[in-house]
Amino acid sequence: MTRDKFAIFLKTLREAKDEQNAEAIVKAHEHENVYIYNDLCLKKIFASEKNIALTTDLINASLNLVGDDRIKNPQLVNPFIPGELGRRNTEPDLMIVNDREKDVPRDRISIEVQHEGGEMYKNRVMLYISRITSNMVRKNEPPVLENLNLISFQLFNTYPWKVSKNYRHTVQLRNQEHKLYFDKQTVTIVEIKKFLDHAKDFAGDNCRLAQWLRAIDTLNREADFSEFATDPIFKVLQEEAKLCNFSARYLMTEDPVISNEAMAVYYKQEKIATNLLKKGCSPEFVACNTELPLSFVNEIKKALDQGMIE
């Protein structure tokens, strides 16, 4: 299902009179696919022990790891447990650790899916990283860190097309001369929207990540999957994405209110601020009329001036 169709489906489940009626609704749609980028769906598909090969392939593709650098010994930190409902809001959507040879720091890889953009998203990314980093070090012990990779699948663009024609970005700490300062922490941004919006421009891109993005999009749209069906990894993905694998009780644990309402208000104010700045209003006027911090409004104006916002 597409994101909009799946949202309507979840709303229908929540409005069901009882669990039996909700299960009947799921049964009626059992041969359709879930929206794979939904947090609960992503968790069940990719955080299941039985699908570890699926998850490993996606991570290696996202991080562009080949040969000896590939993730080979993955362990799920927060696996999906059949019968267990929901998850803590502080958990990443998915996290694995990967042991390497002796004296080589192990990998800690977190996957998040983000549907809405804006400056606040960047703050959230740094918050996720700081949480994971601080949890690596035990109290009163020297801070020996593991290799941390945060993979962010985005349904929006961080870099507009006119700024960057890439849909995959590697972000690390560097100095003013672009010299790498710390190589154990990397944010990998995958701009799904850009890849799909400019599908013709990426038609010749057959890297593994591009194949993954096309395969997931095909399943979300319920389109012909035959070109991917011969790939054993994508065949597993096709089977796991079927709605018949998801109970109504599990799907109904998604909270549509907590944080989403606050984020929706925030994004609305951010869009209003952007439009006012485009019309020539001063940052002070915009801050006063949107109740956004002046410092943040100035950041939006800076992004507009640099062409980072379309």
pLDDT digits over 124-148, tens only?
Answer: 888 888 888 888 877 777 778 899 9
Task: Report the C-alpha gap between 209 and 109 in whole angstroms.
Answer: 16
**Are 287 and 173 in a shared domain?**
no
Single out the residue in 188, 207, 240 at which a domain terminates.
240
Torsion sign (Cα): 114, 116, 122, 124: negative
94 and 49 co-located in one domain: yes
The DSSP H or E segment spanning 149 is: strand 147-154
Q: What is the pLDDT of residue 89?
A: 43
Residue 158 sits in the same domain as residue 297: no
Determine phi and psi for 50, rounding to 5 degrees.
-70, -20
15: in domain = no
Distance of CA 203 to the CA centre of its chain: 23
∠ CA 147-151-123, rounded to 5°: 95
User: Residue type for 204, please?
Assistant: G
Lowest mean pLDDT among 10-24, 176-190, 224-238: 10-24
pLDDT at res. 123: 81
- Domain encompassing residue 289: 257-310
Q: What is the mean pLDDT of residues 216-236?
A: 97
- Give the pLDDT band of residue 261 (cuts 50, 70, 90): very low
Residues 265 and 154 in one domain: no
For residue 74, name the pLDDT band (cuts at 50, 70, 90): very high
224 exposed, middle or buried (CB, 10 Å; 0-12, 13-18, 19+)?
exposed
Looking at residue 259, its pLDDT comes to 43
The span from the CA of 117 to the CA of 140, in Å, is: 37
pLDDT at 88: 45
Answer yes or no: is 2 within a domain.
Answer: no
Overall domain count for the chain: 2
The reply to whether 230 and 83 lie within a common domain is yes
Are residues 266 and 216 located together in one domain of the fold?
A: no
In a domain, 275, yes or no: yes
Say if residue 151 is in the same domain as residue 300: no
What was the pLDDT predicted at 190? 98
pTM: 0.83
Helices then strands, counting H and E runs in the chain, come out as 12, 6
Q: What's the mean pLDDT when you consider all of the chain?
A: 88
pLDDT value for 96 = 93
End-to-end CA distance of the chain: 29
Report, as an integer, the average pLDDT of 249-254: 82
> How confident is the model over 145-156, as a mean pLDDT?
93
Q: What is the pLDDT of residue 26?
A: 93
Whole-number pLDDT of residue 84: 53
Q: Is residue 23 part of a domain?
A: no
**Long-range contact set of residues 277-283: C-beta below 8 Å, sequence gap at least 24:** 277/301, 277/304, 278/304
Q: In this structure, is residue 119 part of a structural domain?
A: yes
Pair (77, 174) in one structural domain: yes
Last residue of a domain, one of 184, 212, 240: 240
Q: CA of 131: how far to CAs of 124, 170, 248, 261, in Å?
A: 11, 20, 32, 23
Give burial (CB, 10 Å; 0-12/13-18/19+) of 40.
buried
Question: pLDDT at residue 258 above 70?
Answer: no
Q: How many other CB atoms sit within 10 Å of the CB of residue 110?
A: 22
Same domain, yes or no, for 201 and 287? no
Higher pLDDT, 175 or 92: 175
Whether 144 and 271 map to the same domain: the answer is no
* pLDDT of 13 higher than 60: yes
